[in-house]
Amino acid sequence: MYWPLREQAPLRNSLTSSTGKFSDRVARIDRHPSRDFAVLNYLWFFLAALFEIAGCYGFWMWLRQGKSALWVIPALISLTLFALLLTRVEATYAGRAYAAYGGIYIIASIAWLGVIERVRPLTSDWIGVAFCVIGATIILFGPRWSVS
């Protein structure tokens, strides 16, 4: 399925450019990201994080807690959904999407710690989360803020 991107990948062969302008051969970047774009990206990141954590937790329960190997079945389904959801993020390059996702994953992990494992996160956990969200935002919006 095709999802339109705000960034365009550079042309592979600069000789194919009809105008020959340098600007035709480099990534086109939306300088003013919309609020909807940001909200959707964070939604995809958050959902992907929940499915990744749930999938890994299934393996944790089987291998570390001695639960039935049947825990692997929903774990694999969850990890597959994680991978599919992460592709919904509007970013041209996978590495940038994965790096930005890391910050959101940390938020979801700390929330999982509190809600599912019933362990109260420390203040230092939440301070770390704040730094990670700031970093994820810089990575995600960096290409749109950069001046060419």
Please, what is the average pLDDT of the chain? 79
**For the CA atoms of the chain, what is the radius of gyration?**
19
**Could you list the residue range(s) of the whole structural domain that residue 49 is in?**
33-145
**Does 23 fall in a domain?**
no
**Does 27 fall in a domain?**
no
Q: What is the mean pLDDT of residues 64-79?
A: 97
pLDDT tens per residue across span 21-39 = 544 544 444 444 456 767 8
Phi, psi at residue 90, to the nearest 5°?
Answer: -85, 90
**Does 70 fall in a domain?**
yes
Q: What is the spatial distance between Cα 50 and Cα 47, in angstroms, rounded to a whole number?
A: 5
pLDDT tens per residue across span 78-126 = 999 999 998 888 877 888 888 888 888 898 999 999 999 999 999 999 9
**Does 9 fall in a domain?**
no
**Does 12 fall in a domain?**
no
**Does 16 fall in a domain?**
no
**Does 14 fall in a domain?**
no
Q: What is the spatial distance between Cα 82 and Cα 76, in angstroms, rounded to a whole number?
A: 10
Q: First-to-last CA distance in the chain?
A: 31
Q: Which residue has the higher pLDDT, 147 or 1?
A: 147
Report the percent of the chain where pLDDT is more than 90: 43
Q: Which residue type sits at 107?
A: I
pLDDT at 48 over 70: yes
**Does 61 fall in a domain?**
yes
Indicate the number of domains in the chain: 1
- The pTM of this model reads 0.65
